[in-house]
Structure 1
Amino acid sequence: MKDDNKQTYTPMMQQYLKIKEDYADALVFFRLGDFYELFFDDAIIASKVLEIALTARDAGSKVSMAGVPHHSVKPYIQKLIENGYKIAIAEQVTEPGKGLVEREVTRVITPGTVFEDEILEANKNNFIASLLVTEHGYLLTYADISTGESFLVDKLNKKEVIDQIKTLAIKELVVKNQYDTILIEELKSNGIYVTIHEEVNTHDTKWNEHLELNQRQGARHLLNYLNATQKQPLSHLQKIVVEENKKYMNVDFRVKKHLEIIESNTNNQKTTLLYHIDNTKTAMGARLLKHQLNHPLIDLNQINQRLDLITAFLPSQYRSELQERLSYIYDINRIVGKVSFKSVNARDLYQLRETLKQIEPLKETLYKYDNELINNLTNKLDNHQELIDLLEKAISDNPPLTIKEGGIIKTGHNEKLDELHNINAHSKEWLQNFEEEERERTGIKTLKVGYNRVFGYFIEISKAASLAMEEDFGYERKQTLTNSERYISPILKEKEDVILNAKDKAINLEYELFVEIRDEVTKYTYSLQELSGYIASIDVYLSHAISAEKNKYVRPTFNNLREVKIIKGRHPVVEKFTNFVANDIIMSEGETFLITGPNMSGKSTYMRMFALLSYMSQVGSFVPATSASLPIYDAIFTRIGSSDDLSGGKSTFMVEMVESNEALTYATNNSLILFDEIGRGTATYDGMALAQGMVEYIYTKIKAQMLFSTHYHELTALADNYEKITNLHVKAREEKNRMIFLHQVEKGASDKSYGLQVAALANLPKELIKRSEQILKQLENKEDKVKVDLFNYDDEEIIIDNTLSIEQEEVLDGLERIDFDKVTPIDALILLKNYQNKLKK
């Protein structure tokens, strides 16, 4: 806006500018009749992003302007949200008439506060989170306002915060200030929308009153922001679930990405575990399955409870019937959310009714399993008969999407409404009779009775016939057209008032009745959410049972001896694309496998297979194997595949070292570590030294079970010096200088690397391959070649300067990042207390 003097603008534009002052960081959608209009810079932005026409308006001065129709605004909102914009909806709150229509912002839409079905994906949560620093560490409180699901994780360090945010795919992060600009910029660079919101609600509600005092401030902060943007109470928010990290296996987002649990490395969802085990039929079930996959358990009882339920659903004779019942169930949580937001329409309530009508048939099918565990779940399914009766009696069987144009309430629900509908229903018949009577009375056979919104009902007569008009007809001229004249008569005028009033009254009454029904549904919020949760659980366990039978999965067992015994294990994804060769994994406590073999032979697949079987078993899923006995792992650490972070200034080798350090720092003797080709990003001796150092450090210090694949054949000598380091190799054979991969893993070291043969498989030029063979022979025959002796080196005393611990380094890093121009005194005290606690560890 170039002109800062508001008085130069029209009253309506002054009204807009006043609203824009309060929502300077948002695109203001200003309601003008049937359109939302954007002005000034907002209009320029919208025209570019939405590819709509940019026009101008004279509002005292020339003003840039762009608009979108209000009845089809959602696709435009979606596109702006996806491009990282915040939208303030300024609605007309008074009826058009005398004077300026009042407008006010009724809702602010941000990436984390979307609840429209057309914008959201049914099988994914849309989380918004508050991030605060407390004296105990970071506090992350997050919710999906479309479903009401709410969670909290506290006592997090910076790494854990970033991991949680990325794992949960949080769409918007609300922070109090920008004291840690580096963290905020890192999150923004990962596509997370960050909002600064200072205020914290001082009032506790049922949503957070069960939390510890220090946990409540996160809920207050998030709720305050939600109230400020949504402009209404959020009665559907479910009681916050405290997610304790210690209850789950430690698997960060990098490991999940390496293993392709939910997200693909190639943007092809068919390569993910989720894609191949998701047989859910409901949106609630799909979201629950994803939540479970993100949170593998470490509690054996909880794991076995899930496995018991999967076992209960294995009988297949009722499966198709049960799946069909589930397929008719709509997204209860999101319907309840829309009821809370007062954005629900009659079609949503119709879908809720049809869903509830499926509960009794669903229960009948579940009881056929005749299983105690399934019966316990079934008994909790409340069909809400009173609500069914209300919606059955009140809501039309084919209601429109709009709620202010009638057609949503059934006949018989309200006597007064039926009377008005009766008047409307008989008005057409009366008008037809009136038209015939007037033709007969006047003798004008072309006489017609018509209607439009401007003039109401009228009698239309052609120009020629109007010349024969007589005064005793009692007509009064209303409008002259090119070829006809329009009149009104006292009788028609009187009936017009009755008909039009009945129509308007019926529409208004239908809306009032709909609001009453909507408010009644609100009373069932908690019980409907409970019902949704039970249905989601049934859907997920049935999905696992289907996967188990379809893919020949078996139930895993667990031992406390830290031993692994997997017979004919398979990779759950790779086996879908190839004739997979099953392999055994027999491993003792603290054992390390050194795996050698040519590229493309299957080393990485073997390692990922082991990790996925362990991961799936602790999710509480059956696994692809003939049998599987496993320990409970507290964490899985991986360094698999080649990747870099050039935008972050990290080369492939640097990323390799950073990811390796995660395991070296946080792994315990109860962890599983998978390292693939450590040291390949640097010089041969550097890489070999690092690889051997890591193997020895993990074996002697951490004592975790580890699979370590390598091309450094010299490392296979480690098996001669350490009792529980075992050499494995992936079988391959060479026929006529051609490689044949057998994909079978056996004990012992590989006899050679087969590098040239693999290069030949990649169709490198034959001349190049032949020259490489000559060079290789010369190197192998070289008499003075360097021999690497892994163990006969001078055993010098190793002095390590451990001046700074990890906690101390984190404190120094945190202090360096603080922006003292933006941190408040109270936040500074909290930070100091947090750092003091770290240093006491």
Structure 2
Amino acid sequence: MDKQKYTPMMQQYLEIKEDYADAIVFFRLGDFYEMFFDDAIVASKVLEIALTSRDAGAKVPMCGVPYHSVKPYIQKLIEKGFKIAIVEQVTEAGKGLVKREVIRLITPGTVLEDGILDAKTNNFIGSILLTEKGYALTYVDISTGESFITDGLEKKQALDLVLSLGIKEVVLPMHFDEYIINSLNDNELLVSFSDQFQIIDNKNLNHLEREQKRAASHLLNYLVNTQKQMINHLMPFKVIQRVGHMHIDYRVKKHLEIDESLVNNSQTTLLHWLNECQTAMGSRMLKSMLNHPLYDIKALNERYDLIEAFTPYQPREQMIGHLRYIYDINRIVGRIAFQTVNARDLYQLKETLRQVPDLKETIKRYQNPKLDEMVSQMDEHQTLFDHLEQSIHDDPPITLKDGGIIKKGYHQKLDELRDIDLHGKTWLSEFEKTERDRTGIKNLRVGYNRVFGYYIEVSKGNASLVKEEFGYERKQTLANSERYITPILKEKEDDLLHAKERSMTLEYELFKEIREFAESFTFSLQELSTKIASVDVYLALAIVSEKHNFVRPTLQNGRDVEVIQGRHPVVERFTKFVANDVIMKEGEIFLITGPNMSGKSTYMRMYAMIVYLAQIGSFVPAEKARLPVYDAIFTRIGSSDDLSGGKSTFMVEMVESNEALTKATEKSLILFDEIGRGTATYDGMALAQGMIEYIHEKIKAQTLFSTHYHELTVLENSLERLTNLCVKAKEENDTMVFLHHVEKGTTDKSYGIQVANLAHLPKSLIARSKQILEKLEDKENKVVLDLFNYEKFEAEDVQTINPDKASVLDEIEKLNTDQMTPIDALLLLKHYQSLIKPKK
């Protein structure tokens, strides 16, 4: 593009746009942010605003939005995955072209604005980097300051975590792994690129290993470059150790509807029904607990203790009352750090701190040592509260430069300027009266003109009464009078003429001082926020437990299970739930049969939900629960395909099954629902039997396996740890009655036609289907097949390939070595070597 044919202002725009080619540039012109060229065409469609043109040496497409109400426009663009470069005037208007610069790049992962962000959910931006240990995922929420890192990941684990955590934007090195880039793009996540890896000198990284520092610095460098300032409010990076957490991948969470609904209805999620939190910080902490279930009996029992501590009802209403008036401390602190905080935010911070002493006193009423310890660590921030109480108006405006922010009595000069602005004429009248009394000149008066400003006028007849000690300075002689000025009047003249402007300027300067004072409490406020969030979460879980009859689970190192009258915590909110027991021994497989709609999947999900709740540290919906601690949950539930990825429903089923069969251990929990239904009957049956036998002999994990292949129930005779369960139903006048009760035994019919009848298929179709079924059953080969005569797996009979080695071979085949740096190649080689070394 030939820039010279455009006006200087448009040339300025084009130079900025060159550096921000992947962003929509909001170019400040007066009271509007203007967009030009392709940005204008795209934005006008997304924002549904008029597309016009501007004569800038040539006709240029243009659209614009008001700067004072820009937030909803930013929100709409961010939700669609766009980046926005905010360009502001950085010099005062005068001679020549005003200088403009990008002051901030807003992306889906770097949003700070209140009203755009979901208060109950973190807004994470992440970075994936290859290290010596494998892939490292670093992720932070710059709106709250929370910072995390997980390393030693496989490629699929890193991608799974991105989806599971709901990360909005991922920063990658240039020329990175194409599989990762394509996977992120397929999931409609914003991918940004940065090749700045230099380790940042930051105390929040001091506790990290060298490669972890490098990974964290990769993300921090990107944030500093996009936000045009240091990110000083981030908390120390928390290293998420996979050893201490139960493995849950994104698909499992989705199948179980932990925090994401399969039917786009938040009320079907576990998170919705657990969230009795009163604060935004508590809601985010609860969601984090759901994202990171534990594999640590001691840590889980500590959480149970805190729920138990909040069980007494008496102080509860007071607790809720205090928590309800606590604002989002973390995000206020984030806006303070980014200097986007307004006076209303500081007022809300003050009102939050007002609640802390009373909150602490209420917690003490529980008389529990664990809660007393929590209370003792809550800093009331009395100094900050007093400062804000004295300075910030109780009903401040959102705007910062129009006055009305600072309280009367906080600053003497500000009070004087406001008083002059409000009572200027009164001051002049009082000054005139004072001067008459002081000089004895009765006809002395105070006047004003544009040339001399304010003056004291004395008639010719009384001019001789003006004495030197009065301090009058002659300014003008007229035919009938003399005009004078005094130092006081001259000083006040300046104030009288510019009082309002100066008061607003002074007020803004005072606000910045208050903001800096509040910023000095950044980390102690974040600690306070964490304590309040903990109180909120455990109080919420105590409320849920009492309201819905949850019990404290007993965790054990053994593998036996005893759940009495277990319930599904979500399904029971919508219907009268039939409670069921789960009594399971070490390595046992439950083979569950029963009609469609009878509740096989619900029974499996019920137990998985009980386990999940127990391992986030919550009480569980049952009369009694004695549970082992699982290192992972694997599921294959529901029917879905991945057509865009070239995978049929059956292929997805096999891929998800393989995840369990290759990754599960004897301490895992496996849920398989209707394996093999996507292929021919005998294919599906053979695969189902093969999986059951493989789990029984090789993995030895506790497994719930539901099926319509009721022929498989004979496996109970040959597999010692397999138990047949069935979901009871009865047939009355060709109509199914579902009892939803699970007990030992088998079902020899699927009742498919009866279920079809319940769905009100045409009666003639149902009648014909019954005729066909009778004929098929008459013709069925009754010979007992060898298919179900089980023989134990022998090592020499089973040709297995180390799944890690097979995976490495696939990865090497896909490598594009032309786009790899030597250091990347060495890191990748070290990573592959670690994968295929024998596990000790």
- Note if 1:410 corresponds to 2:407: yes
Partner secondary structure for residue 644 of structure 2: helix
Q: Is residue 727 of structure 2 the alignment partner of residue 735 of structure 1? A: no
In structure 2, the CA distance between the partners of 1:795 and 1:423, relative to structure 1 (3 Å rule), is closer
- Spell out, residue by residue over 1:619-658, the C-alpha distance to the aligned partner (whole angstroms, 9 max, x if none): 1101110000000011111111111111111111111111
Query: Matched residues in 2 for 1:573 and 1:788: separation?
Result: 43
Tell me the SS of whatever aligns to 1:790: helix
- Residue 358 of structure 1 aligns to a residue whose secondary structure is helix
* Contact 1:177–1:822 (Cα < 8 Å) also in 2: no
Out of 328, 331, 337, the position equivalent to 2:328 is 331
Alignment of 1:655-734 (within 5 A): 655-734=652-731
Amino acid corresponding to residue 548 of structure 2 in structure 1: N
- Displacement, 1:317? 1.2
- Residue 345 of structure 1: aligned partner: 342
AA matched with 1:127: F
Q: Is the CA contact (8 Å cut-off) linking 1:594 and 1:708 kept in structure 2?
A: yes
Asked if 1:177 is matched to 2:174, the reply is yes
Question: Superposed, which structure 2 residues align to 1:11-90 within 5 Å?
Answer: 11-90=8-87
Contact 2:715-2:790 at 8 Å conserved across structures:
no
Name 2:113's counterpart in structure 1: 116
8 A Cα contact 2:132 2:211, kept in partner? no
Identical aligned residues as a percent: 63
Kindly report which structure 2 residues correspond to 1:277-296, keeping only aligned pairs within 5 A, or say none. 277-296=274-293
Deviations 1:420-471 (A, max 9, x none): 111112026579999xxxxxxxxxxxxxx9xxxxxx99xxxxxxxxxxxxx9
1:445-464 mapped onto 2 (5 Å cutoff): none
**1:489 match:** none
Name the aligned partner's letter for residue 609 of structure 1.
M
Report the alpha carbon displacement of residue 824 of structure 1 after superposing the two structures with TM: 2.2
Structure 2 match to 1:563 = 560
Match of 1:313 in 2: 310
2:534 pairs, out of 520, 534, 537, with: 537
Instruction: Give the structure 2 partner of residue 144 of structure 1.
Output: 141
Q: Select which of 185, 189, 193 maps to 1:188.
A: 185
Give the whole-Å Cα distance in 1 for the aligned partners of 2:79 and 2:721.
52
What's the TM-score once normalised by structure 1's chain length?
Answer: 0.91
Alpha carbons of structure 1 residues 204 and 806: separation in structure 2 relative to 1, 3 Å: farther
CA shift at 1:494, angstroms? 11
Between the aligned partners of 2:366 and 2:818, the Cα distance in structure 1 is: 65
Q: Deviations over 1:445-503 (max 9, x none)?
A: xxxx9xxxxxx99xxxxxxxxxxxxx9999xxxxxxxxxxxxxxxxx999875333111
Show the 5 A alignment for 1:280-679. 280-427=277-424, 429=426, 497-679=494-676
Q: In the alignment, what sits opposite 2:457?
A: none
Alignment of 1:741-756 (within 5 A): 741-756=738-753
- The CA deviation at 1:796 is 11
Structure 1 match to 2:243 = 246
Letter in structure 2 aligned against 1:549: E
Q: Is the 8 A contact 1:177 1:823 kept in 2?
A: no
Note the alpha carbon deviations across 1:162-211, whole angstroms, 9 max, x for none.
11100001001001123322221111111211001111233321121110
Structure 1: gaps spanning 5 or more residues = 435-448, 450-455, 458-470, 475-491
1:206 matched residue in structure 2: 203
Deviation track 1:241-291 (CA, whole Å, cap 9, x = no partner) reads 000111111111101111111101101111111111110000000000000
- 1:778 corresponds to: 775
CA deviation after TM superposition for structure 1 residue 147, in Å = 0.2
How many residue pairs get aligned? The number is: 791
Q: Secondary structure at the match of 1:544?
A: helix
Does the aligned pair in 2 maintain the 1:128–1:142 contact within 8 Å? Answer: yes
Residue number in structure 2 paired with 1:237: 234
Say whether the 8 Å CA contact 2:197–2:221 is kept in structure 1: yes
Which residue, out of 820, 832, 835, partners 1:823? Answer: 820
Q: Secondary structure at the match of 1:99?
A: coil
- Cα separation, 2, equivalents of 1:795 and 1:809: 25
Deviation (angstroms), 1:800: 6.4
- 2:831 & 2:795 partners in 1: Cα distance? 34
Distance 1:699 1:169 in 2: 35
Say if 1:779 and 1:785, in contact at 8 Å, map to a contact too.
Answer: no
Q: 1:670 to 1:509 in 2, by over 3 A?
A: same
CA distance in structure 2 between the partners assigned to 1:797 and 1:276 by the alignment: 48
CA-CA distance at 1:832 after TM superposition? 2.1
CA 1:196–1:495 in structure 2 vs 1: closer, same or farther (change >3 Å)? same
SS in 2 for 1:646: coil
1:313, 1:541 within 8 Å by CA — same for their partners in 2? yes
Partners of 1:112 and 1:653 lie apart in 2 by 35
Q: Distance in 1 between the 2:415 and 2:789 partners?
A: 99
CA distance in 2, matches of 1:425, 1:306: 59
Is 1:570–1:625's contact at 8 Å kept on the other side of the alignment? yes
Task: Tell me if structure 1 keeps the 8 A contact 2:199–2:213.
Answer: no
- Partner SS state of residue 174, structure 1: strand
Question: Shift of the alpha carbon at 1:787?
Answer: 4.2
- 1:161 equivalent to 2:162? Answer no
SS of 2:9 mapped into structure 1: helix
Q: 1:463: which partner in 2? A: none
Distance, in Å, in 1 between the alignment partners of 2:250 and 2:118 is 21
Please provide the CA RMSD for this pair: 2.4
Q: CA separation of 1:96/1:659 partners in 2, compared to 1, >3 Å: closer, same or farther?
A: same
TM-score of the two chains, using structure 2 as the length reference: 0.91
How far apart are the structure 2 equivalents of 1:753 and 1:358? 60
